[in-house]
Amino acid sequence: MDEINWPPNVIKANYIAETIRQRIADGTYPPDTPVPSEHALVQEFGVARGTARKALRRLVDAGDAYVVRGLGTFVTPPPAEKS
């Protein structure tokens, strides 16, 4: 795996959060399935755990994901459509 070529002047946590958000949008991570764990993000993006945690925190704070302790972080399902 190649190292990430970090764009200049970007906050890593934001960049990672955005990347995950895109993957949620394109269906890579379907609703109620886990997004990558902190450890997985550490591996994939070559960052510290704290940075990975921050990225996931952003998603949770934005309502895009929810956490189950001991299990992982999951994609928030979209609101039900009115017919």
Partner DNA sequence: TATGATTTGTGCGTATGTATT
Partner DNA sequence: TAATACATACGCACAAATCAT
Would you tell me which residues interact with DNA (CB under 7 A)?
11-14, 34, 37-40, 46-51, 53-54, 56, 60, 67-73
Q: How far is the CB of 17 from DNA (least distance, A)?
A: 10
* Whole-Å CA distances, 5 to 2, 29, 37, 62: 9, 23, 21, 26
Nearer to DNA (CB atom), residue 7 or residue 80: 7
Q: How far is the CB of 75 from DNA (least distance, A)?
A: 12
- Strand ranges in the chain using DSSP code E only, listed in sequence order: 65-68, 72-75
Q: How far is the CB of 80 from DNA (least distance, A)?
A: 24
Separation between Cα atoms, residue 58 and residue 64, nearest integer Å: 9
Nearer to DNA (CB atom), residue 68 or residue 78: 68
Separation between Cα atoms, residue 55 and residue 23, nearest integer Å: 14
Nearer to DNA (CB atom), residue 22 or residue 49: 49
